[in-house]
Amino acid sequence: MKISKESEELFNLVATKSGLKTSVYDTTLTAFNQLKESIENLTNDYSKFHKKNENVPNIESKQVGQFEIDLKFGGDVLLFMMHTNVFEFPRDHEVMKTPYVKEDPSRSYCGIINIYNFIADSFKYNRVNDIGYLIGRIFVNKEGHYFIEGKRELGFLYNNFGKNILDKASSETLINAAVKYTVNFDLLTPNYDIVKFVTVNDMKSALDKFSLQTGKRLGYKFQADQENF
């Protein structure tokens, strides 16, 4: 059977792009597994460090399927979640302007690991209306190189896309930065005018599910929360 030039180009395109995305997925999963291992090591080291002090709250990690691990400490939970799809940076993103990507445009295709911060009581009491925050996201390409967009401590780390590899040392530093940011990201009381009106339905629901909305910055606007990732 004779294949036209157009079909041949199409078949090659499909094979190339599919292979690229499979490669990106594999390297992202490897990086995510490294993060999971570092999170589990953190919980073990913390327990050993405070083993003689029974009054110190625990740090707990919990794997939720293959693509999520939760880290609970104090009143907070960090959710590390790997997206199963592959993405490319927008053309106007700073990463696209780097010599590393210009040399090989396929390096701009990345998997994503998102880091969310929630209040632990939101899950404990099933407060489904509570607010969580995306504090950082990690982009991993086919070569295992990564780039982070995030808040404060996370945002200032690992911005050399062409050189960074998510190994044991860097994953530990990343997790420490995420925990440090979360610990310093305090829960503030909402503005009085935001919460002074409550519907009967909200109050009835609150008695059963504590459904009045809670978030660390609910009702406020802070410069730090308006930063672009």
Residue-wise pLDDT tens digits, 60-104: 999 999 999 999 998 899 999 999 999 998 888 888 988 999 999
pLDDT band at 192 (very low <50, low <70, confident <90, very high): low
Q: Residue 196: helix, strand or coil by DSSP?
A: coil
Q: What is the mean pLDDT of residues 152-164?
A: 68
* Whole-number Å distance between alpha carbons of 49 and 228: 37
Q: What is the pLDDT of residue 187?
A: 55
User: Is the model's pLDDT at 39 over the cut of 70?
Assistant: yes
Strand order in the sheet with 59-63: 59-63, 68-73, 76-88, 109-119, 133-140, 146-150
Q: What is the mean pLDDT of residues 3-15?
A: 88
107 neighbors 143 (Cβ within 8 angstroms): yes
Contacts 24+ apart (CB under 8 A), 154-158: 154/115, 154/178, 154/181, 155/227, 155/229
The average confidence (pLDDT) of the chain is: 81
Q: What is the pLDDT of residue 208?
A: 57
DSSP structural state of residue 75? T
State pTM to two decimals: 0.79
* Whole-number Å distance between alpha carbons of 52 and 55: 9
Q: What is the pLDDT of residue 221?
A: 37
Percentage of the chain beyond pLDDT 90 is 41
Query: CB-based contacts of 25: which residues, under 8 Å, 6+ apart?
Result: 84, 86, 111
pLDDT band at 31 (very low <50, low <70, confident <90, very high): very high
The larger pLDDT score, comparing residue 26 to residue 170, is at: 26
